[in-house]
Amino acid sequence: MPYVSRKDIALTREEVDDFLRGNVWGRLATAGLDLEPHLTPLGYVYYDGAIWFHGLRSSRRGRQIAENPKVAFLVDDGVAPGDHYTQRRGVIVYGRCRIANDDPHLEAARAAYMRGMGMTTVEEVQRRTHDWCRIDVDRVSSWDFRKIPAGSDRKA
């Protein structure tokens, strides 16, 4: 069987953008100063080239972001029971997360988040105990197993 290069199954920049815009759930990896990793699922919106979410300020995730803004964020699909592995696609965003409560793009990002989550009142996403966060993308890693060339994988 020929080797399938990672670059052959990577998503294009446009596919990455479409994939991130087309989903609303992902998993955020953080690590504090103790370097212990922490992974949490969360709802997000991909707006203006960044990942936006809001979360509890005093949570472990919030504390770790304050200590160390370097994060990884995973969005994937094709992983449900019964899905064949050749349906798997995903994007890992690596970047820096910052508190965005005063960001000039927050209102538009919040509106996009609310639409994506099916929310109708701003009170649902404006809690005094929560911060809005923005992950600015440094780099991405992606895959689309549907791009595995025919005949190169005996399981496909």
Summarize pLDDT for 66-87 with one digit per residue, the tens.
999 999 999 999 888 888 888 8
Q: Report pTM.
A: 0.89
Average pLDDT over the chain, rounded to whole? 90
Instruction: Report domain extents, the chain.
Output: 6-146
Q: If you write DSSP's letter for every residue of 12-35 in order, what string do you get?
A: PHHHHHHHHHT--EEEEEEE-TT-
> What would the mean pLDDT of 139-149 be, rounded to a whole number?
92
What are the residues whose beta carbons fall under 8 Å from the beta carbon of 35, sequence distance 6 or more?
none
CA separation for the pair 86, 63 (Å, rounded) = 38
CATH 2.30.110.10 fits 6-146, yes or no: yes
